[in-house]
Amino acid sequence: MPLRLPDRLPAIDLLKQENIFVMDATRAHSQDIRPLRIVILNLMPLKVTTETDLIRLLSNTPLQMDIAFMKLKSHTPKNTPIEHMMMFYKDFETLSREKFDGMIITGAPVEQMDFEEVNYWDEITQIFSWARTHVTSTLYICWAAQAGLYYHYGIPKYPLEKKMFGIFPQRTLVSQLPIFRGFDDEFMMPHSRHTELRRSDIVADQRLTLIAEGSESGVSMVMARGGREFFVTGHLEYAFDTLDKEYRRDMALGRTDVGLPHNYYRDDDPSKGPLVTWRAHGNLLFSNWINYYVYQETPYNIDEIR
């Protein structure tokens, strides 16, 4: 089944070129189905790229979804046209009066700052708190995962000596969870970060369950509140060329602290292009989250979400 997307959203044409079935709001209104309501708080600088990455994965389910995009009132993005933001995004103040079956909060390029130093920290923590009573299940990604664990559970982040950059193997620790249905015992996950969470902090808090980790990349997935919160430190939503663009950007800037992304290029040769090893599990993760932790758990009357 397709996603219901705002008319003229750039991702619609991009995904149709990939033969992915999406539907604009005008056509979707003719179908008498209660779609799942999913809100995306997109904190990434390149909004259209992140929108497309997430919608690509959300579209790979048999459920119809109504997608809304949330923006912060306390922060103005510099890399996305204001016209795009005005057309497709709504402030938290507006959306806070509504309830949603699922929510995705993305990473942000602020991970090397202390949380409280981020200029929108007060607003985003209001959103974290609001989500607990207005959303059935929330998926926190990368910096948002660190920020959510810090705000809700007091879990700190730690600086890395070298950027965690590339594709790293992860192993499932609680393989019987529905979020891992169809997963192999080991799966690959893209990472691109300068900070980390530590296993000892996670397992010491009985409210949290460490559900996946990598021997090199460390904590990768944490679950809380029976699946109403998932915290993912990597990027299973990444497109095949995201790390390539990041690597070439850093090289053009003369960065010497970032090397070749691990396990990414064929034969570790950028001229040979990326070898995609995470796409299948990325699709599975989002499909399982939508099905088992959103669709199967959310009330038909959305106002009953508590």
Q: How many CB atoms lie within 10 A of CB 296?
A: 11
Cα-based distances in Å from 271 to 142, 192, 221, 275: 28, 21, 32, 12
Cα–Cα nearest to 214, from 196, 227, 237, 201: 196
Which secondary-structure segment (H or E) carries 162? Answer: strand 158-172
Which secondary-structure segment (H or E) carries 12? Answer: helix 10-17
Q: What is the DSSP string of 45-79?
A: SSHHHHHHHHHHHHTSSSS-EEEEEEE-SS---SS
The residue behind tokens 């604009």 is 24
Q: Is 194 a catalytic residue?
A: no
Cα-based distances in Å from 233 to 84, 111, 149, 255: 28, 12, 11, 23
Q: How many CB atoms lie within 10 A of CB 253?
A: 9
Q: Among the options 111, 213, 229, 237, which is catalytic?
A: 237
Q: Is 235 a catalytic residue?
A: yes
Q: Among the options 142, 152, 196, 229, which is catalytic?
A: 142
Q: Is 134 a catalytic residue?
A: no
Per the CB < 8 A criterion, the answer to whether 73 and 41 are in contact is no
Q: Among the options 134, 152, 191, 235, which is catalytic?
A: 235
Q: Which residues are designated catalytic?
A: 142, 235, 237
